[in-house]
A and B are shown apart, each in its own frame.
Chain A
Amino acid sequence: MTLAAEAHAPLRPAAAPARSHLDWLESEAIFILREVAGECGNPMLLFSGGKDSAVLLRLAEKAFRPGRFPFPLLHIDTGHNFPEVLAFRDRRVADLGERLIVRRVEESIRRGTVRLRSPDESRNAAQSVTLLEAISEFGFDAAIGGARRDEEKARAKERVFSFRDEYGQWDPRNQRPELWDLYNPRVRGGEHVRVFPISNWTELDVWQYIAREGLDLPSIYYSHRRPVVRRNGLLVPVTDLTPPRAGERVEALPVRFRTVGDIPCTCPVESRAATPEEIVVETASTQVSERGATRMDDQTSDASMERRKKEGYF
């Protein structure tokens, strides 16, 4: 069949020029994911069931469909999950037909590599141990994650391809220079890189993209009524792991989660936003930062994220 014969097909519209900031961010992220596939021998993608990793999965579809993803998905399960998040995780993985590996902090506790002071304390930091154990178990040389530079000061200094030594440590003083879009993911055995395709996105970009793409998310990202107590300026959800303390008054408020993580360190914000579009409007006008509103673990010190990252935290 010749091209001339085919050319009788009606003239089709051109692709939209990539002019909107979302198109630019999307194309950059697709480029980064394809570089991982082209350069790394054994990558994986961290899928927590949160909004940022849901965006990553859509970007991976854009990068590789109709082909299969050139990497499995990995969930580090703290054992303290909101059921809606696990349901979403399983639903999304089934839709995609991709392979999901789950590794549990519980297993690390059983092995003795994680020691907790109490079973109910936040396992957010302990995740790093389980993550590094999984990286070593499968010999992964690259871990793709949904971290963004706008989340936290330490993350603003992070490369798109960020080197980790054989102990999983990040050394902010000794990062590889990253020039143009020429990424260097080369590692030796035991080392790996963390790759952050949505480094340049903000919380607002993420919600605009979720709205534009019509992405499915765990329902707790949208307004729902939930029993909470007010503690240190945060709304702490009342759960088995986080019961009310003596003297605290339990209120049922319309809330949504801005981030979703380990239950004992994740707080919702008061909100009536029930759709991505309404959240875009709220995000554009909020007066509190994403982690400031929601994360108990980031409030312990100015540098708690930096310290966790040096230890191999995601």
Chain B
Amino acid sequence: MSLLGEIEGDVVPTEAGRGDDGGVLRFITAGSVDDGKSTLIGRLLHDTRQILGDQLAAVSRASRRRGFDTLDLSLLTDGLEAEREQGITIDVAYRAFATPKRKFIIADTPGHEQYTRNMVTGASTADLAVVLVDAGKGILTQSRRHAIIAGLLRIPHLVVAVNKMDVVGYAEEAFGRIRDSFRPFIAGLDFPRVDFLPLSALHGDMVVERGGRMSWYRGRTLLQILETARVDRAGNDGLFLPIQLVARPEESGCAGRRGYLGRIESGNVRVGDTVTVLPRGRTTRVHGIRVFEGAIESAQAPVSVTLFLEDQLDVSRGDVIALPGRQIRVTSGFDATLCWLAEEQLTRGRRYLLKHGARTVKARLGEPVHRVNVNTLEREPAESLGLNEIGRVPVQVAAPLAWRPYREHRVAGSFILIDESNNGTVAAGMIE
């Protein structure tokens, strides 16, 4: 009997009807109210023709109502009634748009007092960050803060967009000055890829169209950068597959075997591969792989699959199927960088729930090693962490976890903390 024949369904043909269309790029835009962030997003949507006639008419009416005689593109991203009343944005909004090259999901985070919490949230899933700098004002404290947070969350690609070039007469010197003053600071943040570009969101120069006013700039437009940015998510990293569900043998699709359901978070897997099931560390081989369409020979991130193993092991939700080797550590204690998201501050010694991959365990936090000043990256002593504060904290968990440092692997190294008393998500954690 053939290996694949055991598994219900057809063997799936290769790449039928599926093309590489650039996939999805998730990015975050960081900037405060005055940086023209909403205008930039509005400009991107408008110039890539995502805005439909009726939506444009609504913005035009609203612009007039507020006394603007031109179209205020920032109104395109305006959200809730509560926000419109107060002229602010209160939370992370996600917007999707597409060009013929790629689909994009923007995390639009507001730039006021809850900034750190919102930006950390938006940054956690971003492949690229656009940090806006006002050409008229130059590098401000908040510019450094935005870059620091993008760096802490290990966003691999930073784009520093010097906006409002119209205000400085589209002068090359103004752009050059800002770039040269920011570059040494950025270099210390270890971004694998960095771009600087000048633009005017208000008039559209260098966003989607090049415009005619900055012929001295030879680099790519913002949209060109977004369309060609590399997405590392799948990577060539080792296999990491947290098990979400276990299917009983009667309904797993492979007679007599349990099925392990989960998404391949990195790497690839092939029938016959030797794998380790963590945290226990039992080694076995992959007996088969199934998707809805049928049995397949191999799969790679980020596909959701059902896996069958050679040996019948005691495997449950939260275990991880991984490439054997030393990359993944199994411990019940580690240091983590925590971003505190709740009003109530971190309480040392108190029990929290920690969700890592598909596993939730009890956790206890130790005394903070230090707090990070998000404006300067300097370390400060701290007894606790309050809302919007980031610091390094020792974590003890009630059962061993299979993890990798966050700087190596964004899925294997990230977790959230939950307050059991009200079920709120109180912290984002990155394992050091």
Contact = CB atoms under 8 A, between A and B. Distances in A.
30 contacts: A3-B310, A7-B272, A13-B11, A13-B12, A13-B296, A15-B296, A18-B234, A18-B300, A21-B24, A24-B23, A31-B263, A34-B262, A37-B245, A61-B292, A66-B253, A68-B251, A149-B94, A149-B95, A156-B93, A176-B424, A177-B428, A180-B416, A180-B428, A184-B423, A184-B425, A186-B353, A186-B418, A199-B94, A200-B105, A202-B96
Contact of A186 (B17, B117, B423): B423
A172 B303 CA distance: 32
Contacts of A30: 263, 304
A232 interface: no
Contacts of B105: 200
B411 interface: yes
A12 interface: yes
A199 B93 CA distance: 11
B215 to A, nearest CB: 33
Interface stretch (B52-60, B128-136, B173-181, B198-206): B52-60
Given A34-B244, A302-B81, A172 B91 contact: yes
Given A18-B300, A31-B304, A157 B416 contact: no
A204 to B, nearest CB: 7
A66 B8 contact: yes
Contacts of A204: 98
B428 A179 contact: yes
Contacts of A63: 261, 304
A35 B414 contact: no
A199 B297 CA distance: 31
A64 to B, nearest CB: 8
Nearest to A12: B297
A180 B52 contact: no
B52 A289 contact: yes
Interface string A281-302: 0000011110011000000001
B121 A21 contact: no
Nearest to B356: A182
A136 to B, nearest CB: 19
Interface of A: 1, 3, 6-7, 9, 11-28, 30-31, 34-35, 37-38, 61-63, 65-68, 149-150, 153-154, 156-157, 172-173, 175-182, 184, 186-188, 199-202, 204-205, 212, 286-289, 292-293, 302-303, 306-307
Majority secondary structure of chain A interface residues (helix, strand, loop or mixed): loop
B124 A179 contact: yes
Interface residues of B, number: 94
A280 to B, nearest CB: 12
B155 interface: no
B19 interface: yes
B80 A172 contact: yes
Interface of B: 1-5, 8-9, 11-24, 52-55, 58, 78-82, 84, 90-98, 102-103, 105, 117, 120-121, 124-125, 234, 244-245, 247-248, 251-253, 261-263, 270, 272, 285, 287, 289, 291-292, 295-304, 310, 317, 341, 353, 355-356, 358, 410-411, 414-416, 418, 423-425, 428
A88 B171 CA distance: 62
Given A34-B261, A172-B90, A289 B102 contact: no
A18 B248 CA distance: 27
A11 B356 CA distance: 36
A62 B292 contact: yes
A9 B414 contact: no
B103 A21 contact: yes
Nearest to A304: B81
Contacts of A26: 304
B22 A21 contact: yes
Interface centre among A184, A202, A307 (most CB of B within 10 A): A184
A67 B52 contact: no
Given A172-B91, A200-B94, A288-B54, A25 B24 contact: yes
A187 B424 CA distance: 9
A179 B23 contact: no
B423 A19 contact: no
A180 B125 contact: yes
A15 B298 contact: yes
Nearest to A70: B245
Contacts of A17: 20, 234, 300, 303
Nearest to B310: A3
Given A21-B24, A181-B125, A292-B54, A14 B297 contact: yes
Contact of B15 (A6, A16, A21, A61): A16
Contacts of A292: 52, 54-55
Given A16-B18, A153-B79, A179-B428, A27 B263 contact: yes
A9 B8 contact: no
Given A12-B297, A38-B358, A292-B55, A27 B304 contact: yes
A22 B341 CA distance: 33
Contacts of B5: 9
A150 B98 CA distance: 12
Given A179-B124, A179-B425, A179-B428, A19 B302 contact: no
B296 A150 contact: no
Contacts of B18: 16, 19-20, 22-23
Given A34-B245, A66-B9, A156-B94, 12 more contacts: A9-B5, A12-B295, A13-B296, A14-B14, A38-B245, A62-B291, A67-B251, A157-B79, A157-B80, A179-B416, A182-B414, A200-B105
B302 A24 contact: yes
B53 A287 contact: yes
B23 A31 contact: no
Contacts of A18: 23, 234, 300-303
